[in-house]
Structure 1
Amino acid sequence: MMKMPVFLSCLAWLSGLSAADPKVGAVPMSSAIQPSLCLRGKILFEDDFSGSLKPEWAPSYKTRWAAAGGILTGQPATEADQAAAHDKQHGGSAPSIQLNVPTRDCIVAYEFKLGPKNTAQNIVFNDGTHLSGTGHVSSVQFHVRLGVVLSKKKNTKQDGDADVDLSVSDWKPVAGKWYQVMEEMRGDTIVVRISGGPSLKAKDPRFDIPKTFLSLGAWGGDAISYRNFRIWADAPDAKLEALRDKGLPKSPQTKGK
């Protein structure tokens, strides 16, 4: 029997990878980051931002968001809305948006680009609000001066609990450049990686709960851009995944003011 040359064998293998399972969802061809903690299960959410803003997105604090040409762009609230805001800390001076997709163990992949005046990009997982649930669960900040910070956030229903920075890197992003990010969450462990930058890992019991939504946004009064957004369920065990899906909370319906 004639053996297939190694080169042709590799091509055949690669062509097989390009045919993505529709249940798993498309994996962006540009993605150089692969999961190290989790396994890609079913796709929970994906957005290529080729049309209007999908209903799962909910802009916060009257900040302005639009999807077009493969890019999601967020801008601060208008000066009039910022001046009228009662809560100046959350007055819309920096773009912020919620994604109302329940998760537990999962993989989130996306790309972001900071504007010239932005000081950071952050992603936060939440267990409801501080009133309806226990508030922020985890956060990852990519800061132009402070570096990358992976934090456990305080449980608002637990007296004496506090935010804790669990893993920190002095690597810093720069404005005007696209970065790929992958955040993996399984049980009490989170792994975060960014293209050209570090890999951070942290463990805390706070992480091991269902999350109702996540938040994206920037620090600093400038526009921020996103593209190629994906969320996969972790699939180490199909039976375990099915059991956990039954316990996922419903997404909050209220938008930020």
Structure 2
Amino acid sequence: MKTILQVLALTLSCAAAADLKPLLAQPDQVVLQDDFSKPGAVNKKQWAARQGTQWVIEEGVLRGRPSTPAYQAKRKDHFGYEPRISVPVTSPQCIVQFSVRFSGGSETAIAPFIELGHHICRLHLSKNGVEMLADHESVKVAESKEFKFETGKWYHVLAEMKGEEVVVQFADGPTLYAKNSVFAKTTDSGGNGLGIAGPKNGSVEIDNVTLWSTKAEEQVSWAAKRDTLTKLEPVPVVKAKGKAKAE
């Protein structure tokens, strides 16, 4: 059950979240919908905890924590320092709306992040802004330097992936858009679908998730709306030498 303070906090920000509407794709079937009102273990067919991290439904949210010290001691990589989860039921062409809060811990060069398709399209959040990265984080395709990540703050997100295009809206924040051929691809690597990772040694809370498949047709207003969105010429990402492979 959510506490009264949690309900009030979410209610104050949900008005802005309700204003988020799909810009690119038309929703078809609801694939997943959950407000996490029933405490307990997650449905493993819908939610896949990654890297040994710990996830449970409690206090009205899906809450993730890092893996245990015992798990980390047995690993040579993928230690689970950041709570990570993916949604394998996500359709390749999808619309997903959700609320997320990252708390505690520390930012890294990788996390916290939100992604659509493992290493296909990833949004890295930091105090310096938000970047949309594509193709195993090898190229930056969109950014907002005005968006400053804050720990402990609820973010309400509406993300759309259709064909070679991705649009991600943040309530009371930026709308990021990019077109890249890799967005139309699928991957057999782990963590497919919607993915979320929190700060190192921090926690993640997820709430009010709805995920749709999409119709073949775009929104009738999409072509005109696309012309108004900021576009970024793709920028190759230079990774530090000796850096461990991306996770």
Q: Would you call these one fold, judging by a TM-score over 0.5? A: yes
Which of the numbers 153, 156, 159 marks the counterpart of 2:135? 153
2:61 paired with 1:71: yes
- Cα deviation, residue 236, structure 1: 4.1
Match of 2:140 in 1: 165
Match of 1:243 in 2: none
Contact 1:118 1:224 in 2 (8 A): no
2:33 paired with 1:43: no
- Render the CA deviation track for 1:143-175: whole Å, top value 9, x for unaligned: 2x2311111124xxxxxxx71010011111211
Calculate the aligned-residue CA RMSD, in Å.
2.3
Structure 1 residue runs without a partner (length 5+):
1-27, 127-134, 155-161, 239-257
The structure-2 alpha-carbon separation of the partners of 1:205 and 1:153, relative to structure 1 and needing over 3 Å to count, comes to same
Match of 1:139 in 2: 122
Which of the numbers 185, 208, 221 marks the counterpart of 1:228? 208
Please give the alpha-carbon distance, in whole angstroms, between the structure 1 residues aligned to 2:20 and 2:112.
19
Q: 2:65 is aligned with what amino acid?
A: Q
Q: 1:149 is aligned with what amino acid?
A: E
Q: 1:213 is aligned with what amino acid?
A: G
- Render the CA deviation track for 1:11-57: whole Å, top value 9, x for unaligned: xxxxxxxxxxxxxxxxx995231111111211111221123311221
2:98 paired with 1:123: no
Which of the numbers 96, 101, 107 marks the counterpart of 1:113? 101
Structure 2 residue runs without a partner (length 5+):
1-14, 219-247
Task: Percent identity, please.
Answer: 28
Q: Secondary structure at the match of 1:39?
A: strand
The structure-2 alpha-carbon separation of the partners of 1:54 and 1:198, relative to structure 1 and needing over 3 Å to count, comes to same
Please give the alpha-carbon distance, in whole angstroms, between the structure 2 residues aligned to 1:29 and 1:207.
28
Match of 2:42 in 1: 53
Please give the alpha-carbon distance, in whole angstroms, between the structure 1 residues aligned to 2:183 and 2:155.
25
Q: Secondary structure at the match of 2:120?
A: strand
Please give the alpha-carbon distance, in whole angstroms, between the structure 2 residues aligned to 1:234 and 1:29.
23
Which of the numbers 99, 104, 109 marks the counterpart of 2:92? 104
Q: 2:116 is aligned with what amino acid?
A: F
Q: Segments of 4+ in structure 1 off by > 6 A?
A: none
Q: Secondary structure at the match of 2:150?
A: coil
- Render the CA deviation track for 1:109-133: whole Å, top value 9, x for unaligned: 111111132435312233xxxxxxx
TM-score by length of 2: 0.71
Contact 1:43 1:233 in 2 (8 A): yes
The structure-2 alpha-carbon separation of the partners of 1:30 and 1:206, relative to structure 1 and needing over 3 Å to count, comes to closer
Q: 2:92 is aligned with what amino acid?
A: R
- Cα deviation, residue 102, structure 1: 4.1
Matches within 5 A, 1:16-31: 31=18
Please give the alpha-carbon distance, in whole angstroms, between the structure 2 residues aligned to 1:62 and 1:206.
28
TM-score by length of 1: 0.69
Match of 2:238 in 1: none
Match of 1:129 in 2: none
Match of 1:84 in 2: 74
Please give the alpha-carbon distance, in whole angstroms, between the structure 1 residues aligned to 2:161 and 2:66.
30
